[in-house]
Chain A
Amino acid sequence: MTHAFYVYASYGFAALVTVAVTLWTWADGRARRRELASLEAAGIRRRSARTRDGE
Chain B
Amino acid sequence: MSETSLAISKFSDLANPTRFLALAARAIPWLAGITALCFAAGLYLSFATEGDYQQGETVRIMYIHVPAAWLSMMCYTIMSISAIGTLVWRHPLADVSAKSAAPLGAAFTLLALVTGSLWGKPMWGTWWVWDARLTSVFILFLMYLGLIALNRAIDDPSKAARVSAVLILVGFVNIPIIKFSVEWWNTLHQSASVMRLDGPAIDPEFLRPLFVMAIAFTLLFFTLHIMAMRNEIWRRRIAAQRRLAARMASREE
Contacts and interface: CB of A to CB of B under 8 A. Distances in A.
Consider the complex of A and B and state whether they touch directly, i.e. have CB atoms less than 8 Å apart: yes
Interface of A: 3-4, 6-7, 9-11, 13-14, 17-18, 20-22, 25-26, 28-29, 32-33, 35-36, 39, 42, 44, 46-48
Contacts of A13: 111, 114-115, 118
Nearest to A22: B224
A31 B68 CA distance: 28
26 contacts: A3-B56, A6-B61, A7-B58, A10-B114, A10-B115, A10-B118, A13-B114, A14-B111, A17-B107, A17-B111, A18-B111, A21-B103, A22-B224, A25-B231, A28-B228, A29-B227, A29-B231, A32-B235, A32-B238, A35-B234, A36-B234, A44-B241, A46-B237, A47-B14, A48-B14, A48-B18
B245 interface: yes
The 10 closest A-B pairs by CB, nearest first: A32-B234, A3-B57, A10-B115, A14-B64, A10-B61, A10-B118, A29-B231, A21-B107, A25-B227, A6-B118
B139 interface: no
A22 B226 CA distance: 12
Interface string B69-82: 00000000000000
